[in-house]
Amino acid sequence: TRTLAETDPAIHAAVQQELLRQQGTLEMIASENFAPTAVMEAQGSVLTNKYAEGYPGKRYYGGCEHVDVVEQLAIDRLKSLFGSEFANVQPHSGAQANAAAMFALIQPGDTILGLNLAHGGHLTHGMRINFSGKLYKVVPYGVGEETMLIDMAEVERLAVENKPKLIVAGWSAYSRQLDFAEFRRIADLVGAYLMVDMAHFAGLVAAGLHPSPVPHAHIVTSTTHKTLGGPRGGVILTNDADIAKKVNSAVFPGQQGGPLEHVIAAKAVAFKLAAEPAFRDRQERTLEGARIIAERMLSADVAEAGVTVVSGGTDVHLVLVDLRNSELDGQQGEDRLHRIGITVNRNAVPFDPRPPMISSGLRIGTPALATRGFGKAEFTEVADIIAAALKREFSDETVAELRQRVEILAGKFPLYPNLSSDANE
Ligand code: PLP
C-alpha cells in the first residue's frame, strides 16, 4: 500500500522530473508520442502480475480467463484497424516483432535486402552488429543521390543479382511514401517474401492518410508507440494463414516467454482510440505540421545558412533537415534546439560527410505535438522558432527570446494536467 514516493523517493523524483520535462518542452522526436492516460492506466494495472504463455484459449498457465479477454480484444481491434486476417500483439517491441517475423519466414544464412541504415533504414533491417546483420547475409539498398528517394530500379537490380529470401521495406528516417505494390512485384519476381515495417507511419495508415502495406506484404510489422500513439510495443500482421502460424510460433516460444498482458491491454485501448474520428483529425494535423516545417526550412532566410530539406519536402510526419552545407552540424543543431526547449534527434542524412555521432541532419517529427493539440497556427510558430535557431546568428538574447516563445506554446496545451506534479514541492 505504500506509494512510489514513499517506497522509492529517488525513482519517484526522476519520474516527476520527466513529467515536468515533457510538459515544459516541445517534443519533436519523430518516433515519440504521448500515450493517453487511459493507455497508461491499463499499462499500470494488475495485469503485470499475470503469466500467460501461449495464446488466448491455449495457455500454459491457469487463471488466464481475463487476460484472454484482453488479448483477444487487442487482436480483433488490430485486425479491424488495418484490415488484416491475422494479428499477433505479443512482441515486446518493434525490434522483437521484426526478429520474430524474420524467424518465421527465413533461415540463418539467407540473404535479405533492406534499406541502408545510413539512408534511413532501421537497425533490425540488417545493421552489421544487430541480430539481422549477424544472422543473415545483408544486401542494403539506398536512395539516389540526386532525388534522395529510394531507387526502385536499384532495388530490382539488387534483388535480381542477389536472389534474397526476404525484402524489407520500411524506414526510421525517410520522409516519403513507399511504393508497396512495386516492392511486391520485385519480391515476386525473385521469389522473395516482402516484409513491410510500418513502425513509423502506422498511425497515418490507421487514419487512412497513407497507403496501407497490408494488401501487398506477406508480413507487416509495427511498433505501437510512434504515430500510433499507444504503449511501447510491437505487433505483427499477415493475411496468410500459414505465415500466421509460423509467426505465432516464432514469437512464442521462439522469441519470448510470457506476454506483457498489461502492455497488451494498453495496446487494445490505443487501437480502440485509433479507430475514432479524433484520431484521424490528429493525424491530419501531424501531416500538416510536418509540411509547414518543411516549407519553412526551405525558405530563403534559412537556405542562406546552408540549411535545406532532404528530398525537398515531406509526405509523412517527419522532416529531415539537411545540414551538409551548413556550418552547423547535426550535434550542434540538436544542442541549439535543446537549449530553447525543443527536443529532436540528430540524424545522418544519406551521403553524410560527417561521422554518425555528429551527423549532418536533424529528424524533426510532429506526432507528439499534434497529440498535444497543435494545429496550423502553432506549427507555423514552431517552424519559425526552429528556423530562427538554425540561422547563423544565435546569441544569448536569441536563446532567451526563443525559449520564451516555446514556453508560451507549451503553456497553451497543458500536457497530462491530471497527473500530479509534486516535483515543485
Ligand atoms: N522498426 C522501425 C522502422 C523503427 O523505426 C523502430 C524504432 O525506432 C523499430 C522498428 C524498433 O522498435 P523498438 O524500439 O520498439 O524496438
Q: How far apart are CA 349 and CA 148, in angstroms?
A: 9
The verdict on the CB of residue 170 being under 6 Å from ligand 1 is yes
**pTM score:** 0.97
The verdict on the CB of residue 363 being under 6 Å from ligand 1 is no
For residue 75, the SS3 value is: helix
Closest listed residue to residue 421, CA positions, set 23, 147, 10, 9: 23
Of the chain, the percentage scoring pLDDT greater than 70 comes to 99
Measured in angstroms, how far is the CA atom of residue 115 from the centroid of ligand 1?
A: 14
User: Of ligand 1's atoms, which has the minimum distance to the CA of residue 172?
Assistant: 5
| pLDDT tens figures, 260-304 | 999 999 999 999 999 999 999 999 999 999 999 999 999 999 999
ipTM (interface predicted TM): 0.98
Say whether pLDDT at 198 is over 80.
yes
**β-bridge pairing 193-197 and 219-223:** parallel
Place of cell 513509423: 200
154 touches 115 (CB < 8 A): no
Closest residue by CA, ligand 1 atom 12: 94
Flag whether 123 is marked binding. yes
Q: Exposed/middle/buried for 15, CB within 10 Å: 0-12, 13-18, 19+?
A: middle
Say whether pLDDT at 55 is over 60.
yes
Tell me, yes or no, if 232 is annotated catalytic.
yes
Averaged over 14-20, what is the pLDDT?
96
Averaged over 313-322, what is the pLDDT?
98
Where residue 284 falls (left for φ over 0; alpha for ψ -120 to 50; beta otherwise) is alpha
User: Of ligand 1's atoms, which has the minimum distance to the CA of residue 96?
Assistant: 16
Say whether pLDDT at 421 is over 70.
no
pLDDT category at 424 given cuts 50, 70, 90 is very low
Predicted local distance difference test score (pLDDT) of residue 1? 83
Flag whether 142 is marked binding. no
The verdict on the CB of residue 95 being under 6 Å from ligand 1 is yes
Tell me, yes or no, if 223 is annotated catalytic.
yes
**Average pLDDT for the chain:** 97
Q: How far apart are CA 381 and CA 391, in angstroms?
A: 16
Catalytic residue among 137, 163, 185, 232: 232
Q: Exposed/middle/buried for 160, CB within 10 Å: 0-12, 13-18, 19+?
A: exposed
Q: How far apart are CA 122 and CA 111, in angstroms?
A: 17
pLDDT category at 425 given cuts 50, 70, 90 is very low
Tell me, yes or no, if 55 is annotated catalytic.
no
- Here the cell at position 226 is 510512434
Predicted local distance difference test score (pLDDT) of residue 422? 56
- Dmax over Cα atoms in the chain, in whole Å? 66
**One-letter amino acid identity for 29?**
I
pLDDT category at 423 given cuts 50, 70, 90 is very low
Query: Which residues have a Cβ under 8 Å from the Cβ of 197 and sit 6 or more positions away?
Result: 94, 98, 122, 124, 125, 168, 169, 170, 171, 220, 221, 222
Closest residue by CA, ligand 1 atom 11: 94
Flag whether 113 is marked binding. no
The verdict on the CB of residue 101 being under 6 Å from ligand 1 is no
The verdict on the CB of residue 31 being under 6 Å from ligand 1 is yes
Catalytic residue among 226, 246, 285, 291: 226
**One-letter amino acid identity for 119?**
H
Say whether pLDDT at 415 is over 80.
yes
pLDDT category at 392 given cuts 50, 70, 90 is confident
Q: How far apart are CA 271 and CA 76, in angstroms?
A: 10
Q: How far apart are CA 161 and CA 327, in angstroms?
A: 40
**β-bridge pairing 361-365 and 345-346:** antiparallel
> In whole angstroms, how far apart are CA 202 and each of 51, 214, 283, 386?
29, 11, 10, 26
Q: CB neighbours (10 Å) of residue 367?
A: 33
Say whether pLDDT at 81 is over 60.
yes
| pLDDT tens figures, 201-249 | 999 999 999 999 999 999 999 999 999 999 999 999 999 999 999 999 9
- Here the cell at position 271 is 487501437
| pLDDT tens figures, 110-169 | 999 999 999 999 999 999 999 999 999 999 999 999 999 999 999 999 999 999 999 999
Q: How far apart are CA 98 and CA 247, in angstroms?
A: 10
Residue of 119, 124, 178, 235 to test ligand 1 pocket, by largest number of atoms within 8 Å of CB: 124
**Could you tell me which residue, 211 or 1, shows the higher pLDDT?**
211
